[in-house]
Amino acid sequence: MFLNFKITNYRSIGKELVIDFTIRDSQKLGAFAEINDQSINNIACLVGPNASGKSNVLKGIVYFLRAMCMSYSASFFRFTIGLNSHFCCKSLPTEFSTEFIDNETQYKYEVSVLNGTVRKEILQKRDETTKRYSYIFKRETGKPIILSETIKINKQDSNRLGDDMSLLSLMLELNYFEKNEFLLLKRFYSNVQPGFAFIRDDHQYNLNLISQILQNDNIMLDELMEELKIIDTGISSLKLKEDKEKIKRADKNEITNEREFFTIQTSHKVANKDYPLIMLEESAGTLHYIETFISLSKVLQNGGLFIADELEQSLHPDLTSRIINRFMNKDKNPNNAQLLFTTHNPWFLQDLTKTQIFITEKNNEAETEITRLDEIAGVRNDENYFMKYIAGEYDGRPKIMET
């Protein structure tokens, strides 16, 4: 599980911003897990007005996780692409860090980047007896890489390391660690960045990916069908239909190749008669829920992090609550998957604890600031956070000024 994320100088984020999942003994309420000596929330919710920077927080975390895991092999995920600092801090580095527990071992990873170049990158491991961190590696501009005694990187591989990529990604992808190490870093799903996750506005793109998954996973197909019946979509059956696409040369209009693929077909039963539809003819809410359910099933089955910007998009509040409640249910969430989401619907706050709610606002310097609700003096465990929020007691609401 992830213990925290820290971001400095990224988009609307200026000074260091922290999403902290850890809680004290007196705060152990709601959905949380206990690993080693840590109590960790399963859920974190960001709420605040438009343009306060909620989405930028999620974008920063997704950007960071991508670069950690894939910047060595995938040039699109390197620090030279899409790393936008705060407009007031262009000459300062952007910094990310996280602490996490993987296979009962606690790690800390941090990276500092300026103008697309990694200036500092550190991976540490905590000793559970002394509670102190020691280096697995330390990398700084202009200095030799420092490695622990248990790891050696051959010269050929070290020469492949570019200034715009993560050393951790190189070590992960070239198998310098055991197969069961650092699996958590790859088990995250998000709707934040186009071309990366299942949940996007481009439903055709998403459904092509989903059809590939369902083609090879009959259990998932059955679970999805059962879920669609439970939530009253009117869909009575779901099946994959094989199809072919002919590819032509643009200059001569000649068929040069054929591609086989599967499409998803639904059926609605009315008066004992089935009426078939292609999936794209279903409602936006149904499509969004299907896309969400696929990613949700994976993260709940294996553990990991589900990152959702505006989780309630196109969904009835009851369905959004159903998603959130899965992370609260130990039977549905046996591997302590975590949910990090933003919302404009404060209704969901009444089901959360004060350590799971983060109020997002901009300060006078146009920087995003986040306050965990338990940091506000006087907030009690038994408050109705929904009612208090809409009454303006926590701030984090639009300041609408009529002329």
Q: Are residues 261 and 310 in the same domain?
A: no
**Mean of per-residue pLDDT scores for the chain:** 91
Domain final residue pick, 283, 315, 332: 283
Does some domain include residue 31?
A: yes
Owning domain of residue 208: 203-283
Give whole-number Cα distances, 37 to 23, 101, 136, 338, 341, in Å: 11, 11, 22, 18, 26
How far, in Å, CA of 58 to CA of 309, rounded?
Answer: 7
372: which strand partners? 358
Does some domain include residue 52?
Answer: yes
CA separation for the pair 8, 14 (Å, rounded): 6
Indicate if the pLDDT at residue 66 is higher than 90. yes
CATH number at residue 326: 3.40.50
Q: In terms of domains, do 358 and 237 share one?
A: no
- Look at residue 318 and tell me if it is in a domain: yes
If asked whether residues 380 and 250 sit together in one domain, one would say no
pLDDT at 193: 61
Q: What is the mean pLDDT of residues 33-38?
A: 93
Same domain, 115 and 230: no
What is the predicted pLDDT for the residue at 253?
65
| 401 lies in some domain | no
Q: Looking at the structure, do residues 152 and 269 belong to the same domain, yes or no? A: no
What count of other Cβ atoms lies within 10 Å of the Cβ of residue 322?
16
| 222-275 tens-digit pLDDT | 999 999 999 999 999 998 887 766 555 556 666 666 666 678 889 999 999 999
Higher pLDDT, 312 or 248: 312
Q: Are residues 323 and 182 in the same domain?
A: yes
Letter string b/e over residues 215-235, b meaning 16 or more CB atoms within 10 A of that residue's CB: eeeeebbeebbebbeebebeb
Q: Is residue 396 part of a domain?
A: no
- Looking at the fold, whether 40 and 112 belong to one and the same domain comes out as yes
pLDDT value at residue 250? 59
Distance of alpha carbon 322 from alpha carbon 332, whole angstroms: 11
d(CA 386, CA 94) in angstroms, rounded, equals 34
Q: Are residues 76 and 179 in the same domain?
A: yes
Q: Running DSSP on this structure, what letter comes out for residue 163?
A: T
Q: Specify whether 124 is located in the same domain as 256.
A: no
Identify the domain boundary among 230, 249, 283.
283
Judged on CB neighbours under 10 Å (0-12, 13-18, 19+), 87 is exposed
User: Is residue 259 located within the same domain as residue 314?
Assistant: no
13 with 114, same domain: the answer is: yes
Q: For residue 95, is pLDDT > 70?
A: yes
Taking residues 202-221, report their average pLDDT: 80
Are the C-beta atoms of 124 and 133 separated by less than 8 Å? yes
Looking at the domain assignment, is residue 129 inside a domain?
yes
Is 348 among the domain residues? yes
> In Å, how far are 319, 342, 399 from 315, measured between CA atoms?
6, 14, 26
The reply to whether 253 and 379 lie within a common domain is no
What are the pLDDT digits (tens) for 168-186? 999 999 999 998 899 999 8
pLDDT at 257: 67
pTM across the whole model: 0.92
Residue 145: CB partners within 8 Å, gap ≥ 6?
137, 138, 139, 153, 158, 167
Count structural domains, the chain: 2
In a domain, 326, yes or no: yes
